[in-house]
Structure 1
Amino acid sequence: MADGQKAVKRTKAKLAGEGGYVRPPRAPYATDPAKSRGRLHPEPESRNRNPFERDRDRIVHSSAFRRLRGKTQVFVAHEGDHYRTRLSHSLEVAQIARTVARQMGLDDDLAETLGIAHDLGHPPFGHTGEDVLDAAMEGYAGFDHNAQTLRVLTKLERRYPTFDGLNLTWETLEGVVKHNGPLIRYGATLQDLPIAIQEYVATHDLELESWPGPEAQVAAFSDDIAYNNHDIDDGLRAGLFTLAEIRADVPMVERVLVTVERDYPDIDEFRTSAEMVRRLIGVLVDDLVWESTNRLNDLKPQTPEDIRAAGKPLVGFSDVMNEHQSVLRRFLMQRMYRHWKVNRSRSHAKRILRELFDLFLGEPELLPPAWQEGGDGPRGQRTARRVCDYIAGMTDDYAIEEHRRLFTLER
């Protein structure tokens, strides 16, 4: 048995003992808040919170975080109160990231912070909104939700007297920007990246050519766990597919459902689905911890910098789990994301955002007063970037209402 498997088994056995939960020891390669590289604008340290806890709290109190409650991923916000929003999704990602990081001996405060922050730059109407804004901004340096998250955290939030943004630690900003891997690789250069990232790293180097720290890698895969499972839950609730259909097409779901029906043969379908999703999350978390522990034991890193310099991700799922997830994603793509009802909502959303963008770009005097001045980039791009920032910050319902006010004649 590999050392990683033995370590995971020992940890599980310890956690299941008579004493209940015992926190695993801190790994030497965990990010240490006491050794943070600090903030772009120096500030006195807090007496009550470490730097990563302070970052988390600043994000939670931000306007952009509150607006996530009205931004969706698949369904439009007004279609139902039970479907996930970007806010509930971010909280789920943060919870999973915290759990995985703690099991692996990493810094769970940083992992939680990255889970909470990762979607702040998403516009209304999910990925449809991102596609519309990117197309509308062609010729104006484009739109990218990851770069927009950096803009929100470093520029668009204006809550402090001496700087724009939230002035988060280097580790949090690095993790937000690089959570999916290095940005400068395979022939890509800094000039190929979104303008917001180019401008920021000119004054605060986030080392875009290296892999992110371990907590950021954990947050990225926690995102995968959260959205795959909540899309199953939301798709079943919306009636886009049935439990029988997903179990027939996705072997991983079938295997988990068999255990649920064996343990609880008399519960109704709603409870069966909920228990299945809960167990699926557990299966994915266990696989992520097991595979990542094996990789880390093979490399034996001693610092977070060893992980950044590894040249490959050290956190990830096993090959078998990646195959299972590919089958699940294909099912969700066919039966949910391309469902005719979802396509109708997507089509409506495209028209709303494109018409709002074109109107504001042609008549910027229609923007609220706070958005009529400023803007970044060359002179020809400033108005477009202001319009883009304004629309990207909207909730679904606000975009619908703004469109109604501007395009519907009322007595």
Structure 2
Amino acid sequence: MTRNAPKAFPAPLASYAARAEETRGRLVTEAESSIRTPFQRDRDRVIHSVAFRRLKHKTQVFISHEGDHYRTRLTHSLEVAQIARTLARALQLDEDLAECVALAHDLGHPPFGHTGEDVLVECMKPYNSFDHNAQTLRLLTKLEHRHADFSGLNLTWETLEGVVKHNGPLIGPLARKDEPLPAAIVEYAESHDLWLDTFPSLEAQIGAIADDIAYNNHDVDDGLRAGLFDFEEARDLPLIGPALKAAEDRYPSAPRDVLIAEAVSDLIGAMVEDVLAETKARLAALAPKDADAVRRADRAMVAFSTSMEKDLDGLRAFLHANMYRHHKVNRARSQAKRIVKSLFDLFFTEPETLPPEWRERYDGADEARREDILARIVCDYIAGMTDRYAMREYRRLFSVEFDG
């Protein structure tokens, strides 16, 4: 007979955590739920959105039809959310907000991953360009249609801030890139100020670093299983190499797929511990009294240590050269580029080929801006496609079959 394990009660939130009861609210005022906090409602709305379901068939690295066991945007987002909750719990932050930002962070990615994004950026250059973070904001505030009283999901200020700024300030001296803001962010900020010149909450910063932890480890896992690089090469890599050796020492008779899984699990744990140690040190130095003090800091509070960041740079460089630019991946990228570019060009030059619900948005457009509006409609339509839907549309529109 076993005794019941002691109940684990959540720790009180730290002073610098985002607080659901102090949210800056929603653009459209709603009655609050009696059983869920505002951040929990945000998370639930993201999970029930059409855009979230579509992540199941959107590329992470491998096009979704290439294998059942490779990560898709959906499985990646779930893994990011799990790591984000772990970090948030350890730092006594709001787990629901961290999870929500993690689940939503990739909603704006078009089909075929970064390849699809590169093509849309090029196609949209004359029309205020394309940015997947800005597209996520468009989905959350405009393109999702699930409520009668408003467009989008009407999420809280804190969630939208986290989605838009999870990589840091977008304007001002602390911005990472000196380039114009995406049109979607400019437009939304006119009605809902998201403090674009500050860092986001700790919960959103956690979402960003959880993304780094997840994709670096799981891209190694997928790359090894796909044979894009071999086990011996992985032994010499920073971070994953020592983890593989430690797994072999512990389990000398284990098959390689189990060793890979053990090594990846250990490395995720090591990265989480590293982030916690570095973040706690930065918070101790800043001593923020509340969440806004974190936002106004002169650097991110959630970060890897210098030594971990250096090792990660080495791992990223290897993955870029040996996985993301492997000839097998390049062939799939080449096909994806042709599909997205061909679809954009056709819909833009022949808008009558758009589905009726999308064509209607163009038919009522302001005459002076019809070209800009059409380009954005076509971009929104393509960006919302899954890999397999884009391929199906391409076949419908460009494959000609003759009987007899």
1:93-134 Cα distance to aligned partner (Å, 9 max, x none): 011001001001111110000000000000000000000001
1:222 pairs, out of 200, 210, 213, with 210
Q: Which amino acid aligns with 1:334?
A: A
Work out whether residues 175 and 212 of structure 1, in 8 Å CA contact, stay in contact via their aligned partners in 2: yes
Residues 1:343 and 2:330 aligned together: yes
Residues 1:243 and 2:234 aligned together: no
Question: Within 5 Å, which residues of 2 pair with 1:149-160?
Answer: 149-160=136-147
1:271 deviates by 0.3
Matched with 1:27 is 14
CA distance in 1, matches of 2:241, 2:222: 18
1:22 deviates by 6.7
1:106 pairs, out of 93, 102, 105, with 93
Matched with 1:312 is 299
Work out whether residues 59 and 387 of structure 2, in 8 Å CA contact, stay in contact via their aligned partners in 1: yes
Question: Within 5 Å, which residues of 2 pair with 1:164-175?
Answer: 164-175=151-162
Matched with 2:258 is 271
2:356 pairs, out of 369, 380, 397, with 369
1:80 pairs, out of 67, 86, 109, with 67
Q: For 2:15, what is the secondary structure of its paired residue?
A: coil
Work out whether residues 38 and 169 of structure 1, in 8 Å CA contact, stay in contact via their aligned partners in 2: yes
TM-score (norm 1): 0.93
Residues 1:208 and 2:208 aligned together: no
1:191 deviates by 8.8
Residues 1:48 and 2:35 aligned together: yes
1:287 pairs, out of 262, 268, 274, with 274
Matched with 1:254 is 241
Q: For 2:126, what is the secondary structure of its paired residue?
A: coil
Q: For 2:244, what is the secondary structure of its paired residue?
A: helix
2:377 pairs, out of 383, 386, 405, with 386
TM-score (norm 2): 0.94
CA distance in 2, matches of 1:103, 1:202: 36
2:321 pairs, out of 327, 334, 337, with 334
CA distance in 1, matches of 2:174, 2:294: 22
Work out whether residues 23 and 103 of structure 1, in 8 Å CA contact, stay in contact via their aligned partners in 2: no
1:34-61 Cα distance to aligned partner (Å, 9 max, x none): 1111100000001111001100000100
Matched with 1:7 is none
CA distance in 2, matches of 1:268, 1:48: 47
Q: For 1:373, what is the secondary structure of its paired residue?
A: helix
Matched with 1:118 is 105
1:127-179 Cα distance to aligned partner (Å, 9 max, x none): 00000001001111110000000000000001100110000000000000000
1:20 deviates by 8.7
Residues 1:406 and 2:397 aligned together: yes
CA distance in 1, matches of 2:265, 2:40: 27
Gaps of 5+ in 1: 1-17
Q: For 2:360, what is the secondary structure of its paired residue?
A: coil
Work out whether residues 238 and 312 of structure 2, in 8 Å CA contact, stay in contact via their aligned partners in 1: no
1:364 deviates by 0.4
| Corresponding residue pairs, total | 393
Matched with 1:176 is 163
Gaps of 5+ in 2: none
1:194 pairs, out of 157, 178, 182, with 182
1:347 deviates by 0.5
Work out whether residues 246 and 331 of structure 1, in 8 Å CA contact, stay in contact via their aligned partners in 2: no
**Higher mean C-alpha displacement, 132-141 vs 25-34:** 25-34
Matched with 1:10 is none
